[in-house]
Structure 1
Amino acid sequence: MAGTRARPTLADQAREAAVEAALAALGLDDKARLLSGRDAWTLPALPGIGLRSLVMSDGPVGVRGVRWSADDPSVTLPSPTALAATWDEGLARRAGVLLAQEARRKGVHVLLAPTVNLHRSPLGGRHFEAYSEDPYLTGRIGTGYVTGVQSGGVATTVKHFVANDAETERFTVNNVVGERALRELYLAPFEAIVDGARPWGVMTAYNSVNGTTMTEHQRLVDEVLRGEWGFDGFNVSDWTAARSTVAALEGGLDVAMPGPRTVYGAALARAVRDGEVPEAKVDAAVRNVLRVAARVGALSGAEPAVTELPEPVDGADLAREIARRSFVLLRNRGALPLRSGTVALIGAAARDARILGGGSATVFPEHVVSPLDGLTAALPDGTVRYAVGADPNTELSVARRGFALRAVCRDSEGRIIGSAPVPDGQIHWMGDDLPDGVTRDRLHTVELTGTLTPRESGRHVLGLRGVGAFTLTVDGTTHFDGVQRPAEDDPFAAHFGVPVPRARPELVAGEPVEVSLTHVVARSEGAPVKTVTFALAHQAPPRDADELIAEAVAVAREADTAVVVVATTERVESEGFDRADLRLPGRQDDLVRAVAAANPDTVVVVNAGSPVELPWREEVAAVLVTWFPGQEGGTALADVLTGAYEPGGRLPTTWGSLADAPVTEVTPTGGELVYAEGVFIGYRAWERQDRTPAYPFGHGLGYTDWTYESARVEGTTVRVRVRNTGGRAGREVVQVYLAPGAPDPARPARALAGFAVVEAGPGERAEAVVDLPRRAFEIWDETTASWSFVKGSYEVQVGRSIADRRVTAAVTV
């Protein structure tokens, strides 16, 4: 598998010559400076060698660019879990092509994506940003994504290397992982992507693995990633992860981000002069950076790796296609597609869509189509009636709806030095990303000011997220004037932390009031990057939950079909913390049960990035998972509900109750998190412990039926014949699992070894062809520290999910 190095082309050789010439022209100080961020998102330019500044940006569902602001919009695709649910490497590649197009539009050379960590525990708070519990599926989707992005001349950084599978104590945790589990599970997607897509970058994680922090892990970075697998790109730290100048360089870290204050730069040059580290190590790191610069066209004299760009992609169309192809129909008792008649659309998330997860994955779309928007547009006038039913947002969130705001910047004398519109209540200015005319040395205060036009009458709650001195005024009354301190020791608490309520004014629906939040900008000379980060937060007056549910029931009772949209919130799924449970927030479970009792044709739409418990699933007619569906989610939902398209997704991770889940631990003990389960996570663990989930890995229904007629093996190629026995055209994901011929307690009962997507019209047959990879027959031998090919007989099991296997064949190797 990995470790096979592609033969250099003449263009590769020419680029390498340009890299060596540029390296030879650099002095030690410039080399050390190049390995340290110039600011939050860029590396220094070195005009003397024709090197332009390399610009990086967060992904993975869009390209935010260097500005963290809603006034710089980006195409927003569905969540990575949604992309994985398509089980379509080609579609992932097309997503990558679009993202490269977006990156070029924003002047970005390096996309900080994809995330290919595994869903080890369902409590992982950031799982929406990763693909799957299965390393093979993760590797296939990640390979498509990376190939697509880099086909557009933009670098990727596959992350977070490695075992960054939870958020609790993520900066300091030591994950204790056995070598076999490390190789067969957690390293496997990275290895597959290095082998199949040749990524130009990798990002090392905050956490330690077996006692060594990943930014200093020489064995895993230099010996495995570079040595065994042949990775030749650059290795960048997660932001603020690098801790030691010498240990990081010796451990194989090329770039320490963000800047300008990092462990590299002047500190690295000094370490070389003091004899603590050889300059040859610096040269190796600089060479890796220059190679990436050459590939993306940022080094003069080097031809870019891509000279002919892919055809332009329509972002909205692709976002809509990925969304509907990702939706997983878990259950359908004849309620979908919708029949003619009236529809009761219920749920706060139906009106105020949640399209993506929180944290550094956040991007800002130019527009959002909510389920209410999408269904209303798709159905005849008067067909859709809406009710809130239950609001999962029981806490403050960033001020958006009803607010018209702008930022006013002043100097220490109170003079206005600049201003800018702010589309929502969040300020996040990093480095020199400031409004026109504003400089760091003159900036003293930022006032977020404007109006709030309430949608509801009653007692509203306003508050703030951030650290430092603030003054909050509503309708001429000052409600807070003081210092807000961090609630936790997290360098990103000001951006990802919980907003604090500071005002509870009585407001009248439709009557605008003036609001003002002023922040005194701190002079944080020791911070790794200078930021201005705070947010105005808001919560509408809560209505009586029983009353809201009763209103929804009344609407549902009068409709032909009830569609209830349930959702998680930013306080459930986001970067920076793990989940406490898998329950839907608020009274949403009560809402579903009440509506289902009133209308037997109740369809539940689950708007969540990762598994949630569905205790009412047997009481409703249909359950459809839409993940975080991106900016076109509402239109895609209408496509699927009305039957214009069938839901194409299959579960990339097991859905079940927390009580039954075999692997749940995300909280370290004494700073350590022991992966005691070894190679048994996800469906491997559910099967090993003989537990039945609510919905198994790979499950998903469509709007037609399929018969699996045969499977035959030719060498290690599996050919599967299926027939569409339903009444409409459809798409099927043919899944191939490999089971050892003789039970082996040290190995999973079966594991995903391949898959293929086929399409056929009513009554038509299709053939899926799946090549079984050599790695499917190998295990990591901890005694010999090498891969061991296990000869013998295996059963090839083919079907629609890990639990729905239809036909079998035998293979002997």
Structure 2
Amino acid sequence: MAAPITRADRATQEDRAREEAVETALGKLDLEAKARLLAGQDMWSLPALPGIGLASLVMSDGPIGVRGVRWTADDPSVALPSPTALAATWDPELARRAGRLLAQEARRKGVHVLLAPTVNLHRSPLGGRHFETYSEDPYLTGEIGTGYVLGVQDGGVGTTVKHFVANDAETDRFTVDNIVAPRPLRELYLAPFEAIVANAHPWGIMAAYNQVNGATMTEHRYLQNDVLRGEWGFDGYIVSDWLAARSTTGALLGGLDVAMPGPRTVYGEALVAAVRSGDAEETAVDEAVRRVLRLAARVGILAGAPAAVTELPAPVDGDALAREIARRSFVLVRNENAALPLTPGADTTVALSGAAARDARVLGGGSATVFPAHIVSPLDGLTAALPDGALSYSVGADPSDELAPAEKGFTLRAICRAADGRVLGTASVPGGRIQWAGADLPEGVSHDELHTVEMTGHFTPRESGEHILGTQGLGGFVLTVDGEVLFDGTEGLGASSDPFEAFFGSPVERARAEFTEGRRVEISLLHTVHRIESAPISAVAFSLLHLGPRHDPDELIAEAVEAARTAATAVVVVATTESVESEGFDRENLRLPGRQDDLVRAVAAVNPRTVVVVNTGSPVELPWREEVAAVLLTWFPGQEGGAALADVLLGAAEPGGRLPTTWPVALSDVPVSDTTPVDGELHYDEGVFIGYRAWERAGATPAYPFGHGLGYTDWEYETITATPQEATVRLRNTGARPGREVVQVYLAPVADTADRPARWLAGFAPVEAAPGESVEVRVPLRRRAFEIWDEGPGLWALIPGGYEVQAGRSVADRRLSHVVEVV
């Protein structure tokens, strides 16, 4: 009787069948078809090749949602909490569930590859995309990233782990040369990528814009070919960050497979010419095509090749998962006199203030942007959860006095016309923003014929007073309100070196007008398309912007203070804006914008039960943190953030988060903060000492340390035993509520001879327990945790000796230790 076929046997057979299909398809392609496949056909896809049964492969931005190929609110997406929030859960399995939801979203939108996750590190809190990355710690980053990739690929959708490598800031990101010594490069910046390749086998990697040690990443032979493919055995494809590829032969020899966006890239016709002239070998082209075809086979779009996933995970409720991740990510960093949770009752009154309580910021800016079908703000969430009459709301302080896309109160559509006035097509514009790239145009519209786009509709103000209208983008603009032309002019290209400046442009005020609350006005913005002939892809991008009436800041604060004075609890929501945290620039400081600090202090002065909700993706200075009863960090909490906030504030759920990065008292205290290159170079002179490693080396005390987070119960750490392979920790829930704890295990060398940090995260595990219940958790310890990168021979070296295995609640709150001897 034949032995049954195991799952591993079946997987091997399917791998072999895919490889055979890949080789068969490759053998049928001529050089022109191969080169075309590597260039992309438009902003988001590779071309179909019907002759070999290859469908068009579609990519889309993440990481908190799947935008699809249309950058518009007319095609909504589930919006999960930011990557910093996901990392704050310290739960790789929850990250895997998030990935499965995103795969479900990708399939719904016809997307085969998600351009995520971002696993660069929080080297500096000033990094502009800090919110889009997980942590300052490479191990935590690798664990969360592994869960995310496994989840997405569980659903048969590919990932591209990015940005490979050392893309840790935005200043001069296209040209900066990051000078990183081999040891920190291996121990910190490459480590998350290595862990994900080993443990999740991602189907793709994205090469970064920047240079590392003199070589641009899309051409970095050592890191892409020798390390990623050679040492680590990565067998997926490498795609450039958008517009990152600069050289045909350099990219091909450096290991880049796909240059995006297409079709005008360094591949395609340029690659054919390079092979014909003898500057490039067709065998190298074949290798790149082979990897692209392997990806196509895995996602199920290559004829004759079995897809890597044929049994999909169970459907996921996107709203429910977004709400769960949000409340599990919230970090309670201060809770004096058990101010939280609130006790609902007949006499419960809450005075809510802060502009972000009404107009929540639920996600970061730039390519991480998606458009959810709905957003639950803190005001919405608390209104639904509290009894009628228990909640009052005041603006208090508005963090932004800047123009934003015309959304609240606007109903708009686009009319596309040719130069002779013919209507070519129409589309809705739910968010006042048009971003059409490549083939992403309304039906019947082509870039060649398109001459003007009129954004037209109506606006119903929610406040009376002077409103400001503006535009974003390049080209001609005619702004009309109720038939009166308020602006007629042209915006040209500025001096920015960032090519995306040409796509997004800068906000510009165009007109001011008096509007009355509730009185509808007709509005039109006629845009004459601006063409940049040298641009690698044709695009139409512009926005109608709006800013409501400005109010006296002192009066706004006074109104919030009066409401807080008589309320049982005051809740103040503070936030950053898209001009503070977004893609394309780094932050200049860590201060909250506007008069928000003044608002918190004024409210706290009249209400001892003041709770501050910090709605930011990255650390900010909280100069009033000792003056308030509670501080809850909610990151960018996704579309269900307000509902999750109500759950946590009212005690229906515990705040489950722990800090994935250190929060400073002030920027001046931060040991590593520089993001500005000098003469084109940014030197990582701190070596392996970033994040909490640097804080401990400097002997400095932050506001809140790495790993910190309070819950609604108490924990006693009872015992620890350890070997070099595993730590076993027993702890007890000594509080009155069920709770969840994240047991963190750090290694501290007893006698250090290798210039290492005082301690580093070696493992963690979440546990849950009922009141009075003891639980035991086993935390594996990897050999790598005891090793360093020896720059001499260029290999990993075990450092023998004694190590304290320390278990606790944060890097600064270590409860138990056990010494192990490593030989």
1:214 is matched with 217
Contact 1:320 1:635 in 2 (8 A): yes
Q: How far off its partner does 1:415 sit?
A: 2.1
| 1:377 has 2:384 as partner | yes
What CA distance in whole angstroms lies between the structure 1 residues aligned with 2:550 and 2:456?
Answer: 25
Structure 2 residue corresponding to 1:107, chosen from 107, 110, 118: 110
Q: How far off its partner does 1:745 sit?
A: 6.7
Specify the code of the residue in structure 1 equivalent to 2:571: V
1:312 is matched with 315
2:397 is matched with 390
Any idea what the Cα deviations from partners look like across 1:247-283, whole Å, max 9, x if unmatched? 0000000000001100000110110010001100000
Contact 1:496 1:576 in 2 (8 A): no
2:363 is matched with 356
The 5 Å alignment of 1:624-635 reads: 624-635=632-643
Specify the code of the residue in structure 1 equivalent to 2:409: G
Contact 2:503 2:539 in 1 (8 A): no
Q: How far off its partner does 1:812 sit?
A: 1.2
What CA distance in whole angstroms lies between the structure 1 residues aligned with 2:718 and 2:465?
Answer: 63
What CA distance in whole angstroms lies between the structure 1 residues aligned with 2:443 and 2:609?
Answer: 55
| 1:77 has 2:85 as partner | no
Structure 2 residue corresponding to 1:735, chosen from 735, 740, 744: 744
| 1:543 has 2:547 as partner | no
2:144 is matched with 141
Secondary structure in structure 1 of the residue aligned to 2:499: coil
Any idea what the Cα deviations from partners look like across 1:324-374, whole Å, max 9, x if unmatched? 000000000111001231000111111111100000000010111111111
1:478 is matched with 485
Contact 2:82 2:617 in 1 (8 A): yes
Q: How far off its partner does 1:546 sit?
A: 0.1
- Give ranges in structure 2 of 5+ residues lacking alignment: 1-7
Specify the code of the residue in structure 2 equivalent to 1:649: G
Secondary structure in structure 2 of the residue aligned to 1:460: strand
Any idea what the Cα deviations from partners look like across 1:9-31, whole Å, max 9, x if unmatched? 11111110110110011100000
1:19 is matched with 22
Q: How far off its partner does 1:43 sit?
A: 0.0
Q: How far off its partner does 1:486 sit?
A: 3.1
2:614 is matched with 606
1:461 is matched with 468
Q: How far off its partner does 1:441 sit?
A: 2.2
| 1:259 has 2:262 as partner | yes
Specify the code of the residue in structure 2 equivalent to 1:103: A
1:777 is matched with 786
Specify the code of the residue in structure 1 equivalent to 2:412: L
Specify the code of the residue in structure 1 equivalent to 2:260: M
2:123 is matched with 120
Q: TM-score, normalised by structure 2?
A: 0.97
Q: How far off its partner does 1:479 sit?
A: 2.8
What CA distance in whole angstroms lies between the structure 2 residues aligned with 1:608 and 1:562?
Answer: 19
Contact 1:473 1:515 in 2 (8 A): yes
Secondary structure in structure 2 of the residue aligned to 1:360: helix
What value does the CA root-mean-square deviation take over the aligned residues?
1.3
What CA distance in whole angstroms lies between the structure 2 residues aligned with 1:179 and 1:473?
Answer: 59
Contact 2:482 2:521 in 1 (8 A): yes
2:716 is matched with 707
Pick closer, same or farther for the CA change 1:209–1:715 going to 2, 3 Å: closer
Q: Could you tell which deviates more after superposition, 665-674 or 753-762? A: 665-674
Q: TM-score, normalised by structure 1?
A: 0.98
Any idea what the Cα deviations from partners look like across 1:218-248, whole Å, max 9, x if unmatched? 1000000000000000000000000000000
| 1:803 has 2:806 as partner | no
| 1:489 has 2:497 as partner | yes
Contact 1:465 1:494 in 2 (8 A): no
Any idea what the Cα deviations from partners look like across 1:502-522, whole Å, max 9, x if unmatched? 111122222222222111123
1:58 is matched with 61
What CA distance in whole angstroms lies between the structure 1 residues aligned with 2:525 and 2:375?
Answer: 27
Specify the code of the residue in structure 1 equivalent to 2:444: G
Any idea what the Cα deviations from partners look like across 1:123-157, whole Å, max 9, x if unmatched? 00111100000000000000000000001000000
Secondary structure in structure 1 of the residue aligned to 2:324: helix
What CA distance in whole angstroms lies between the structure 2 residues aligned with 1:665 and 1:6?
Answer: 51
2:456 is matched with 449
Contact 1:496 1:575 in 2 (8 A): no
Q: How far off its partner does 1:715 sit?
A: 4.4
Q: How far off its partner does 1:744 sit?
A: 4.2
What CA distance in whole angstroms lies between the structure 1 residues aligned with 2:700 and 2:598?
Answer: 27
Any idea what the Cα deviations from partners look like across 1:24-74, whole Å, max 9, x if unmatched? 111000000000110000000000000000000000000000000001001
Secondary structure in structure 2 of the residue aligned to 1:481: strand
Structure 2 residue corresponding to 1:433, chosen from 401, 423, 440: 440
Contact 2:471 2:543 in 1 (8 A): yes
Contact 2:86 2:95 in 1 (8 A): yes
Specify the code of the residue in structure 2 equivalent to 1:477: E
2:757 is matched with 748
Contact 1:359 1:496 in 2 (8 A): no
What CA distance in whole angstroms lies between the structure 1 residues aligned with 2:800 and 2:11?
Answer: 34
| 1:297 has 2:331 as partner | no
Q: How far off its partner does 1:453 sit?
A: 1.5
Secondary structure in structure 2 of the residue aligned to 1:504: strand
Contact 2:146 2:195 in 1 (8 A): yes
Contact 1:59 1:112 in 2 (8 A): yes
Specify the code of the residue in structure 1 equivalent to 2:356: A
Any idea what the Cα deviations from partners look like across 1:473-512, whole Å, max 9, x if unmatched? 2333323222212332221114544311111112222222
What CA distance in whole angstroms lies between the structure 1 residues aligned with 2:267 and 2:754?
Answer: 48
Specify the code of the residue in structure 2 equivalent to 1:416: V
| 1:515 has 2:523 as partner | yes
Contact 1:716 1:811 in 2 (8 A): no
1:420 is matched with 427
What CA distance in whole angstroms lies between the structure 2 residues aligned with 1:23 and 1:584?
Answer: 55
What CA distance in whole angstroms lies between the structure 1 residues aligned with 2:776 and 2:282?
Answer: 57
Specify the code of the residue in structure 2 equivalent to 1:225: L
The 5 Å alignment of 1:755-774 reads: 755-774=764-783
Specify the code of the residue in structure 1 equivalent to 2:790: D
What CA distance in whole angstroms lies between the structure 2 residues aligned with 1:572 and 1:715?
Answer: 44
Q: Percent of aligned pairs with the same residue?
A: 72
2:584 is matched with 576
Pick closer, same or farther for the CA change 1:623–1:727 going to 2, 3 Å: same
Contact 2:473 2:504 in 1 (8 A): no
Specify the code of the residue in structure 1 equivalent to 2:267: Y
Q: How far off its partner does 1:7 sit?
A: 12
Any idea what the Cα deviations from partners look like across 1:526-582, whole Å, max 9, x if unmatched? 321111001111111110000000000000011000000000110011001100100
Secondary structure in structure 2 of the residue aligned to 1:571: coil
Structure 2 residue corresponding to 1:717, chosen from 713, 719, 726: 726
The 5 Å alignment of 1:615-626 reads: 615-626=623-634
Any idea what the Cα deviations from partners look like across 1:406-443, whole Å, max 9, x if unmatched? 11111101122211111011000111211122222221
What CA distance in whole angstroms lies between the structure 1 residues aligned with 2:628 and 2:13?
Answer: 62
The 5 Å alignment of 1:672-683 reads: 672-683=681-692
Q: How far off its partner does 1:594 sit?
A: 0.2
What CA distance in whole angstroms lies between the structure 1 residues aligned with 2:502 and 2:606?
Answer: 45
State how many pairs are aligned: 809
What CA distance in whole angstroms lies between the structure 2 residues aligned with 1:7 and 1:417?
Answer: 52
What CA distance in whole angstroms lies between the structure 2 residues aligned with 1:6 and 1:788?
Answer: 35
Secondary structure in structure 1 of the residue aligned to 2:524: strand
Contact 1:465 1:495 in 2 (8 A): no
What CA distance in whole angstroms lies between the structure 1 residues aligned with 2:670 and 2:365?
Answer: 25
Any idea what the Cα deviations from partners look like across 1:169-212, whole Å, max 9, x if unmatched? 11111111111110000000000000000000000000000111
Structure 1 residue corresponding to 2:289, chosen from 283, 286, 289: 286
What CA distance in whole angstroms lies between the structure 1 residues aligned with 2:68 and 2:225?
Answer: 30
Structure 1 residue corresponding to 2:351, chosen from 344, 355, 358: 344
